[in-house]
Amino acid sequence: DQQVKQNSPSLSVQEGRISILNCDYTNSMFDYFLWYKKYPAEGPTFLISISSIKDKNEDGRFTVFLNKSAKHLSLHIVPSQPGDSAVYFCAASGPGNTGKLIFGQGTTLQVKP
């Protein structure tokens, strides 16, 4: 039973435009959400996170939005750059402090020059 879902396997955007990656979850007890970026043959790299007490967190070109009532989060990348082309994983954890992350299946982003 998949508790974290990324329903778009792939996304293609033009350089300079906005990339929006979406993630849905089913467990209302999740209290911490993260986005990871992964290049081929490398491990996932932490990008940005958000606590369930917030609805937005921003770090440079990356912003994560959390809509708890809809159990939905999104990652916005503005402006998109060719180097952003990678697989993006959404992950969630909680409740409690086990550190157990539940990952979505990933979305492959391609940013075209």
Partner 1 sequence: DTAVSQTPKYLVTQMGNDKSIKCEQNLGHDTMYWYKQDSKKFLKIMFSYNNKELIINETVPNRFSPKSPDKAHLNLHINSLELGDSAVYFCASSHNTGSSNQPQHFGDGTRLSIL
For binding to partner 1 (CB under 8 A), which residues are involved? 31-32, 34, 36, 41-46, 49, 51, 87, 89, 93-94, 96-103, 105-106
Q: How far apart, in whole angstroms, are the C-alpha atoms of residue 43 and residue 105?
A: 15
Q: Would you say 14 or 45 has its CB closer to partner 1? A: 45
DSSP conformation letters of 86-109:
EEEEEEEE-SSSS---EE---EEE
Spatial neighbors of 41 by CB under 8 A, at least 6 apart, are: none
Spatial neighbors of 1 by CB under 8 A, at least 6 apart, are: 26
Q: Would you say 41 or 70 has its CB closer to partner 1? A: 41
Nearest-approach distance from CB 74 to partner 1, in angstroms: 19
Q: Would you say 17 or 54 has its CB closer to partner 1? A: 54
Nearest-approach distance from CB 34 to partner 1, in angstroms: 6
